[in-house]
Amino acid sequence: MKRLTPQLALLAAGLLSACSSTDKPKPTALESLTPQIAGRQVWSARLDNVQFPLAVSVRDGAFIVAGTDGTVVAYEAQTGREQWRGEAGRKLSAGVGSDGRFAAVVTVDNELVVLDRGKRSWSIPLLSRTTTAPLVAGERVFVVGVDRVVHAFDALDGRRLWTYKRSGEPLTLAQPGVLTAYKNTLLVGQGASLVGLEPTKGTLSWDVPVTSPRGTNEVERLNDLVGPVLRVGDSVCARAFQTAVGCVAANTGTLRWSRLNAGQQPLGGDADYVFGADASDRVSAWRAATGDLAWSNERLLYRGLSAPLSAGPTVVFGDIEGQVHFLAREDGKTLLRLPTDGSPVVAQPVLSGTTVLVVTRNGGLFAFRPD
């Protein structure tokens, strides 16, 4: 079979996503709710709209976020006070990754831009489109393109340190993939496999498939791991696009469990549960140790749910109408619902201390504190 070019691969993935969205029924109407817990908005801010796959970094009590226009800002999580602001100079296709000092984003022109506390430090062209937020760790900046090639750069001067590339399926997914760290191992999604790389040299340490390909053609067999991943202790859990969810023991490079579950959004969770919404927005909770189903909730079907956040006794989802749902982590019952600006929640909610940050398509940043 003729292999697809990177451009055709991206187009195929985009068509797959478009077909899945246009076939969905109307969002389920929200039920009347008497709040079971207290919660309130504690601050808000606004950036340019967010038309790219946004990841929010949480470092040293700050939220580091970016807008489509290339603005990158660090906000104090507790108060919303702006700590610093910088500019990438062009619209973004991915971002933002940060270690608290350096923040890295990628522009639509395939340029990696690194800021040092808001001041532009260096930039370098990339050979592939990038939709996954860079990872900044150990004075290195790691990038993985939609071609699945991994690059490592020196965070201080942009010097290229190594490149990792392996042969694989020609069709790739044009949405954020997996790029994170576990102790002294770099974890990267390569198709449906989670691979562990030695971060100083880029050599392969282990390779664990979360699921196996299914379907009769390359589009149906597309099952790239979707990021960001859930990491709790030595367990790293991820969703394989439209196929399965599973957890890998990062300390040994072995698969702990895998369960069939067709969905597109990343997972959230904690030491006890792994949470996620499938393609119809049925919310499920699996026991983190075994993968057994603990509960499911069908009250939010077709509401375009975001990836979830586990926060204390709650699990938090945003939806396509900008509503933020706080569910009980033990049984999935709705405890609280809070509004934003009416536009879709576009990134996984994130937590710093007791403050939950939600970002919307219109560029709204809403910080909540459930009690």
* CATH code for position 64: 2.40.128.630
Task: Give domain status of residue 178, yes or no.
Answer: no
Task: Give domain status of residue 71, yes or no.
Answer: yes
Per-residue pLDDT of 260-272, as tens digits, reads 999 999 999 999 9
Beta bridge partners of 162: 152
Q: Residues 95-127, buried b or exposed e (16+ Cβ, 10 A)? A: bbbbbeebbbbbbeeebbbbbeebeebbbbebe
Task: Give domain status of residue 196, yes or no.
Answer: no
Per-residue pLDDT of 115-141, as tens digits, reads 999 999 999 999 999 999 999 999 999
Find the helix or strand (DSSP H, E) in which 79 lies.
Answer: none
Residues 6+ apart with CB under 8 A from 330: 313
Task: Give domain status of residue 67, yes or no.
Answer: yes
- Alpha-carbon distance of 194 to 180, in angstroms, equals 11
Place of tokens 């990628």: 106
pTM: predicted TM-score of the whole model, two decimal places: 0.91
Residues 6+ apart with CB under 8 A from 233: 271
Place of tokens 């790029």: 179
Q: How confident is the model at residue 222 (pLDDT cuts 50, 70, 90)?
A: confident
Find the helix or strand (DSSP H, E) in which 95 lies.
Answer: strand 92-98
Is the model's pLDDT at 143 over the cut of 70?
yes
Q: Which two tokens stand for residue 321?
A: 């109408």
Task: Give domain status of residue 315, yes or no.
Answer: no
Q: Which is it for strands 140-144 and 203-209: parallel, antiparallel or unpaired?
A: unpaired
Domain span at residue 155 reads: 50-165
Q: Residues 290-305, buried b or exposed e (16+ Cβ, 10 A)? A: ebeebbebebbbbbbb
Read off the pLDDT of each residue in 334-345 and give the average, rounded to a whole number.
98
Least confident of 35-44, 65-74, 81-90, 209-218: 209-218
What backbone phi and psi angles, to 5 degrees, belong to 121? -100, -50
Task: Give domain status of residue 242, yes or no.
Answer: no
Per-residue pLDDT of 278-332, as tens digits, reads 999 999 999 999 999 999 999 999 999 999 999 999 999 999 999 999 999 999 9
Task: Give domain status of residue 13, yes or no.
Answer: no
Task: Give domain status of residue 308, yes or no.
Answer: no
Q: Residues 44-62, buried b or exposed e (16+ Cβ, 10 A)? A: ebebebbebbbbbbbbeeb
Domain total in the chain: 1
